[in-house]
Homo-oligomer: A and B are copies of this chain.
Amino acid sequence: MTTHNIAFGKALRELRKARNLSQETLAFEAGLDRTYISLLELGQRSPTLDSMMALCHALKITLTQLVSAIETAMEKPHE
Q: Which residues of A contact B (CB under 8 A)?
A: 2, 4-5, 8, 46-53, 62-64, 67-68, 70-71
B67 touches A63 (CB 8 A): yes
Q: Nearest CB to that of A66 among chain B residues?
A: B67
**Which single member of B50, B63, B70 contacts A46 (CB below 8 Å)?**
B50
Q: Nearest CB to that of A65 among chain B residues?
A: B67
**Which single member of B48, B67, B70 contacts A47 (CB below 8 Å)?**
B48
| A52 to B2 Cα, complex, angstroms | 13
| A2 to B64 Cα, complex, angstroms | 18
Q: How far is the CB of A64 from chain B (nearest CB, A)?
A: 6
| A12 to B67 Cα, complex, angstroms | 17
